[in-house]
Amino acid sequence: MQGTVYAEAFASKEKTARIDIDPAEIWKNKQPDASICADVKLVLDGLNALLKESGIHQKLDLAGWREELDHQNNEYPLSYQTFGDQIPPQYAIQVLDELTKGGAHH
């Protein structure tokens, strides 16, 4: 949720969870109903495994959510600011991810 302009309005009637590797960031902007201080990839891998083990994932209809994500990705593609000859860190990470086919995090 970092970068949310109107944090109080964001999911105001929903339960929220925040995953952040930095414990100082967990409570910024909006207090979550649940918080996990850890690497988000590890947490999501674990949650996905639990969903698959329980069989709940077969009952979830995520088509609307995936449609919304596709729309947001097309409408607001990721971008980063360049600074002359300097290589932006986001670009370096993107190239590393492409070269390692997503395996750079290991």
pLDDT along the chain (106 residues), means of 10: 50 80 84 90 93 88 90 85 83 87 71
In a domain, 10, yes or no: no
pLDDT of residue 13: 72
In a domain, 104, yes or no: no
Domain, as residue range, for 74: 17-99
Could you give the number of structural domains in the chain? 1
In a domain, 4, yes or no: no
SS3 string, the chain, reads CCCCCCCCCCCCCCCCEEEECCCCCCCCCCCCCEEEECCHHHHHHHHHHHHHHHCHHHHCCCHHHHHHHHHHHHHCCCCCCCECCECCHHHHHHHHHHHCCCCCCC
In a domain, 39, yes or no: yes
In a domain, 59, yes or no: yes
In a domain, 70, yes or no: yes
In a domain, 37, yes or no: yes
In a domain, 92, yes or no: yes
pLDDT of residue 94: 85
